[in-house]
Amino acid sequence: MEEVARTYPEGNVHVIWDNLNTHRAYGVWKSFNARHGERFFFHFTPLHASWVNQIELLFAIYTRRVLRHASHYSIFHLRQRTEDFIVQRNRAPQPFKWTFAGFELQTGEPKRIPADARSIRPSTSRRTPASSSSSHGA
């Protein structure tokens, strides 16, 4: 971060951090920001965000098609190839077909229910007012 501060000595800087425990150390980045004129704004990705998987898929495709085994002779050349990649992807956009079956519930019951069982499955996740009050010792 000190190198980022030296590279961008003026103006506001927005930093996007994942939720690594060291990134969440409020005192550390508050102290850093105090040393650099309160111009750094820290944003954190959500703790549980399935949309991040789609972003990672796009970066993997970008890495394979633009970065891997490539020789970029200048920053301009890399920027041009990156912009060409984005233009090409946007010409014929296709959504990522990402699915998530879910984790098993604590009861051991699978989260996904077969289509033929959906209409006859009893609801076990909702409590009636009487059962919820008795379970809290009331």
What's the rounded Cα separation, in Å, for the pair 109 and 99? Answer: 19
Yes or no: say if 131 and 138 are a contact pair by the CB < 8 Å rule. Answer: no
Mean pLDDT, residues 10-16: 90
Yes or no: say if 78 and 72 are a contact pair by the CB < 8 Å rule. Answer: yes
Residue with tokens 């010792």: 137
pTM over 0.75? The answer is: no
What's the rounded Cα separation, in Å, for the pair 28 and 20? Answer: 13
What are 105-130's pLDDT values in tens digits? Answer: 555 554 555 555 444 444 444 444 44
Beta bridge partners of 17: 44
Q: What is the mean pLDDT of the chain?
A: 75
- From the list 66, 67, 56, the residue with the least C-alpha distance to 88 is 66
